[in-house]
Copies of this chain bind each other. A is one copy, B any other.
Amino acid sequence: MSLTVAEISVRYGCTVQGDPDAVVERVATLEGAGPGCLSFLANPKYRRHLAGTRASAVLMAPADAENCKVTALLHDNPYAIYARVAAELCPPPVAAPGVHQTASVHPEAQVAGSAHVGPGAVVEQGARLGESVVIGPGAVIGEGAVVGAGTRILANVTVCHGVTIGERCLVHPGTVIGADGFGIAREPEGWIKVPQLGSVTIGDDVEIGACTSIDRGAIDDTVIEDGVKLDNQIQVAHNVRIGAHTVIAACTGISGSTRIGRRCMIAGAVGFVGHLEIADDVVVTGQTMVNRSIAEAGVFSSALPMDEARRWRRNSARFRQLDDMAKRLRKLEKKLGRGDD
Residues on A facing B (Cβ under 8 Å):
27-29, 32, 43, 45, 77, 79-80, 82-84, 86-87, 90, 92-93, 100, 102, 104, 118-122, 124, 136-138, 140, 142-143, 154-156, 158, 160, 170, 172-176, 179-180, 182-187, 190-195, 197, 205, 207, 209-213, 215, 219-220, 226-227, 229, 231-233, 235, 237, 244-245, 247, 249-251, 253, 255, 268-269, 271, 273, 275, 283-292, 298-323, 325-326, 328-340
Residue pair A158, B187 in contact (C-beta under 8 Å): no
Contact of A179 among B43, B90, B92, B154 (CB under 8 A): B154
Residues of B within 8 A of A136 (CB): 140
A-B contact pairs, 7 of them (CB 8 A): A29-B219, A79-B185, A140-B155, A170-B180, A174-B175, A271-B287, A289-B304
- Known interface pairs A156-B176, A210-B213; 12 further A-B residue pairs with C-beta atoms within 8 A, sorted by A's residue number: A77-B185, A100-B104, A120-B121, A138-B138, A140-B173, A174-B174, A174-B179, A174-B211, A233-B235, A271-B286, A288-B306, A328-B338
List the B residue with the shortest CB-CB distance to A80: B185
- Closest B-chain residue to A226, C-beta based? B190
Is there an interface contact between A251 and B250, defined as CB atoms closer than 8 Å?
no
Closest B residue by C-beta to A246: B191
- Residue of B176, B182, B336 touching A229 (CB-CB under 8 A): B182
Out of B27, B92, B173, B232, name the residue touching A219 (CB < 8 Å): B27
Chain B residues, Cβ within 8 Å of A191: 227, 229, 245, 247
A308 close to B319 (CB less than 8 A): no
Q: Are B322 and A305 in contact (CB under 8 A)?
A: no
Partner among B87, B315, B318, B339 whose Cβ is within 8 Å of the Cβ of A195: B87
The answer to whether B287 and A86 have CB atoms under 8 Å apart is no
From A143, A244, A301, A331, residue with most partner B Cβ within 10 Å: A301
Q: Cβ of A207: which chain B residues have Cβ within 8 Å of it?
A: 184, 193
Using known A-B contacts A118-B122, A137-B124, determine if residue A299 contacts B306 with beta carbons closer than 8 Å. Answer: no
Cα distance, A184 to B193, chains bound together (Å): 38
Q: How far is the CB of A214 from chain B (nearest CB, A)?
A: 9
**B residues within 8 A CB of A32?**
219-220
A255–B268 CB distance below 8 A: yes
A235, A273, A314: most-surrounded residue (chain B CB, <10 A)? A235
Are A320 and B311 CB-contacts (below 8 A) given A289-B286, A302-B305?
yes
Q: In the assembly, what is the distance between CA of A211 and CA of B301, in Å?
A: 27
- Tell me, rounded to whole Å, the shortest Cβ–Cβ distance linking A80 to chain B: 4
State the CA gap A69–B204 with chains docked (Å). Answer: 41
A268→B268 contact, CB < 8 A: no
- Neighbouring B residues of A315 by C-beta, 8 Å: 319-323
Closest to A262 in B: B190
